[in-house]
Structure 1
Amino acid sequence: MDNSKTASRQAARKRRLLINRDFTLLWSAQAISKLGDVVFDYTLVFWIATSIAREQRWAPLAVSGIFVATALPTLGAGPIAGVFVDRWQKRPTMLLMDALRAILILLLLLATGILPPPFQLPPFGQLVAIYLVVVLATICAQFFDPSRLALVGDMVTEPDRAHATGLLEVTRNLAVVVGPPVAALLYFRFGALWALIINALSFVVSFLALLAVHASPSGVRPQPEQQTHFLREFVSGLHFLAGNRVLMTILVTSVVGMFGFSAFSALGIFFALQNLHIPASLSSFLSLAFGVGAMMGAFLAGLFAQRIGVARTFWLSILLLSGLLLVYARQTSFAPAVVVSFLFGIPYAAIGVASDPLLLHVTPRTLIGRTFSVIITIVMLSILVSTTLVGYLASMVLHDFHARFLGLAFGPIDTIFTVGSLFGLLAGMYAMVNLWGLHLAREEDGLNPEITR
């Protein structure tokens, strides 16, 4: 009897850790494909900078083209993809996108020089091939990502969704930390060819993991008579988003708070040089500390967000993130800055862990694709605008700015960080007011934690 109880408790703990079989497969697929994505991105940077555009004046422009090739499809194809994601079944859509991305990356092998000399592409042709593959792969991601979110909603009941999102965020941040050195090792040891092959294989493994998922094919799917005109479906999604208090809170806080995080990302190297007075080579430790903090934040938020309250976790994390950015702006020494950068990553990841369960809580399954895609598109646009703005302020408007206030010295970079933190605090208070009293279902509320189909 005792043995059976012990086995039952162990099985329950295992279920709580991995939630269920289908989610474990989905989580494994993302862990592999996300690492492949980061390795792919950095491989392209190394390939362009050290080979295709080596010692060319236009090399920085060529590398920045990768970011443009990623941003433009997100802005252009994202909202369109959301309508079709809501029409189509989710797992087949994800399988198709994984297969297409594997094929696209394998086709890029033709640009690595494996063909005989008469058929090898010149540098300009290689760049065109790279940008084209990045554009098409990014379009595939616009279909894959909202489908994955909807599938998580199908696989995982509300009491476990914060935990599920936490696991997904841990693997995403782990890929961001581990991916760059893995890409460097593969590229400089074996060349672009094998780095691309490994990335293509990551999508093959993701495809096989998704193929093993026992998702119900009879999930909620719009019937043909429900599928009206594309524009009407798109507009109905916008109306739902605009009329939902929770979704608009997520959107507004993301856009307003993005100014501070864009400053932290874009101007981090200049803060290290001008405020911390360290060589550029040490600035990577600040990014590493942030990445490790983000992994820990995702793990902790996944464990405790449901107990704290998912909505409360969301706005508390925004306030804490903004407060830490204010503290970071006042740092003048390397070691304390590393500690604050690590702490900064914790609430940053917690915001992501809390936002998806909130979206799933208030969004009908037939609108998840449109809702998610529009939010991501607007957030990407805000990133572009914020990054451009902070770069312009640091380069032009505040380049020679120096002032003292309340006995504190202010320069251009820390001033931008300070203003960004104030925007973040306003966003956090806005979220606190709008989400106050919102509670998601918990297991003790009587919901069956097992997946229902």
Structure 2
Amino acid sequence: MESDAASATAPSASQSTRPRLWSLPGWRVGFPASLVSRLGDFVFDITVVLWISTEIAPGRSWTPAAVSGVLIAAAAPVLFVGPLAGAYTDRYDRRRVLLVSNTVQAAAVGSLLLVPPLSSTLGLIGQLSWIYCAVMVTNAAGQFFMTARSVMIAATIPEQLRNQAFAEQGAANRTLAIIGPPLAAPLMFTAGVDWALGINALSFLVATWLLARVRWESEPNPATAELGLAESMRQGARVVLRTPVLLAIGMAIVIAMIGAAALNVLEVFFVTNALHQRASMLGILSMCDAVGMVLGSLAAPRLALRWPAGQLIAIGLLVSGVTLIAYSRCTTLPPALVFYALIGVPVGMINVLISPLWMKSVAPELLGRSLAWLNAVSTAANLVSMAAAGWLVSTVLRGLDVHFAGARFRPVDSVFTAAGVMFIVGGLVVFPILRREEAPG
């Protein structure tokens, strides 16, 4: 907890944070590099889905399964390569890992430029296989890149500036999430898939060029470098399981991923069945969510000047749960838009505060490994939750229509309500853990 004197000077500290942050060479280069790469990712994700569904396999009965294959190819490396990438990153020069992994991503995406001219030779299966392999290689290299970039942030940005750094990065990413997808479809249908793929490959090369200009202490700890790969991975898992703060953060992320997965899978059905709107209104809801997350991201550093980050994360879970339950009870669009934006505010705040708190709670030589395990567990929770949400609505809850305490419960809104209750329970569980661990002395 901060002293009264520190609290009294908090506004001026906040005002000076931005110029101090932008005076750091690592941030001045790393921030635009991340933006360029992220925008390329948004364009690429939409391009691949549209490419498969409209050009490679249009109108086939199995086209949805072919598109789902892209999602599986993207998620598999997080589960199976992520822990390996974390151990490798902690054992080798992190700057080199950062640059090589970004170059591999550029090469994997660039290789897809060969698919259209070779389409007649490759055939349908060959084209899909090439795309899936490229997506897997890109995301596998991305695991190395993300862990190395986290180490770079910890090494180049002082602890007191990290909340502001992640706030600006989070707000920018959410803005790109609004801008990127609408750009992807017109770009592909007017300029062609080659241009869309080329832009994404170029974005990786530009990011690599920018990051190569930053020099930082990237050599690994000598003791860590001498460890075997298997032991290095085990150390990463042990530090997560034996550190209460990390366990609490992991629980918070898993709960958030479960709620997000339920919304992503079932949202379109909630819009059409509960809100009685066209499916196209889902885009307006997504925009409201993005606005809320931007506001939450930007508010997080100021809130963290006054309250401990761990307690804010727990409170964010509680608020998210209450607003998600309120959203699940909506039957008309206007209140749904308001509550959907309100859900985004605490989620945006949580996203900003988690990484700096994690970096503060783990030794630098264990950062890559511990983060990799966290990403793997959260991705697994996301995949399981998406499958469970669809299965519950299609089987166990199918035909549910119950009135209780003046409210009507049907399959989709019941899943949303249950997700909201999970947020609240999670907040109540992690609050005392994080409060105790962050207590002074």
Bucket of the pairwise TM-score, normalised by the shorter protein: over 0.9
Alignment match, 2:10:
none
CA contact (8 A) 2:224 2:232 kept: no
Offset at 1:370?
Answer: 0.8
Alignment match, 2:6:
none
Q: 1:93 aligns with which of 90, 97, 100?
A: 97
1:373 maps to 2:372: yes
Q: How many residues align?
A: 429
Offset at 1:21?
Answer: 2.4
Alignment match, 1:318:
317
Deviates more, 1:71-80 or 1:169-178: 169-178
Offset at 1:12?
Answer: 4.6
Q: 1:72 aligns with which of 50, 71, 76?
A: 76
State how far apart, in whole Å, the 1-side matches of 2:337 and 2:438 are: 35
Question: Aligned ranges for residues 346-365 of structure 1 at < 5 Å?
Answer: 346-365=345-364
Task: Normalising by structure 1, report the TM-score.
Answer: 0.90
CA contact (8 A) 1:402 1:411 kept: yes
- Percent of aligned positions that are identical: 31
Structure 1 counterpart of 2:206, one-letter code: V
Alignment match, 2:194:
193
Structure 1 counterpart of 2:148, one-letter code: S
Structure 2 counterpart of 1:203, one-letter code: F
Structure 1 counterpart of 2:201, one-letter code: A
CA deviation map 1:202-247 (0-9, x unaligned):
1111111101113235x5x232785222222211221111110000
Alignment match, 2:427:
428
Is the alpha carbon distance of 1:425 and 1:14 closer, same or farther for their aligned partners in structure 2, counting shifts above 3 Å?
A: closer
CA deviation map 1:398-422 (0-9, x unaligned):
1100111111111111111111111
Q: 1:38 aligns with which of 17, 42, 49?
A: 42
Structure 1 counterpart of 2:177, one-letter code: V
Is the alpha carbon distance of 1:246 and 1:188 closer, same or farther for their aligned partners in structure 2, counting shifts above 3 Å?
A: same
The residue matched to 1:394 in structure 2 has which SS?
helix
Offset at 1:292?
Answer: 2.1
Alignment match, 2:178:
177
Structure 2 counterpart of 1:252, one-letter code: M
CA contact (8 A) 2:21 2:161 kept: no
The residue matched to 2:206 in structure 1 has which SS?
helix
State how far apart, in whole Å, the 1-side matches of 2:376 and 2:183 are: 30
CA contact (8 A) 1:95 1:210 kept: yes
CA contact (8 A) 1:250 1:355 kept: yes
Structure 2 counterpart of 1:249, one-letter code: A
Structure 2 counterpart of 1:36, one-letter code: G
State how far apart, in whole Å, the 1-side matches of 2:17 and 2:353 are: 22
The residue matched to 1:122 in structure 2 has which SS?
helix
State how far apart, in whole Å, the 2-side matches of 1:224 and 1:410 are: 57
Offset at 1:17?
Answer: 5.5
Question: Aligned ranges for residues 43-58 of structure 1 at < 5 Å?
Answer: 43-58=47-62
1:111 maps to 2:146: no
Task: Normalising by structure 2, report the TM-score.
Answer: 0.93
CA contact (8 A) 1:315 1:432 kept: yes
CA deviation map 1:329-363 (0-9, x unaligned):
01111121112111111111111111101110111
Alignment match, 1:447:
none
CA contact (8 A) 2:293 2:344 kept: yes
Structure 2 counterpart of 1:112, one-letter code: P
The residue matched to 1:404 in structure 2 has which SS?
strand
CA deviation map 1:108-142 (0-9, x unaligned):
100023x5x8x643222111111000000010011
State how far apart, in whole Å, the 2-side matches of 1:397 and 1:368 are: 41
CA deviation map 1:75-95 (0-9, x unaligned):
111111111010122222111
CA contact (8 A) 2:17 2:164 kept: no
Instruction: List alignment gaps of at least 5 residues for structure 1.
Output: 1-8, 442-453
Offset at 1:302?
Answer: 3.5
Structure 2 counterpart of 1:66, one-letter code: V
State how far apart, in whole Å, the 1-side matches of 2:102 and 2:354 are: 25
Offset at 1:68?
Answer: 0.4
Deviates more, 1:40-49 or 1:161-170: 161-170
State how far apart, in whole Å, the 1-side matches of 2:439 and 2:150 are: 17
Question: Aligned ranges for residues 292-441 of structure 1 at < 5 Å?
Answer: 292-439=291-438
Alignment match, 1:204:
205
State how far apart, in whole Å, the 2-side matches of 1:197 and 1:162 are: 34
State how far apart, in whole Å, the 2-side matches of 1:398 and 1:303 are: 43
CA contact (8 A) 2:92 2:225 kept: no
CA contact (8 A) 1:257 1:427 kept: no
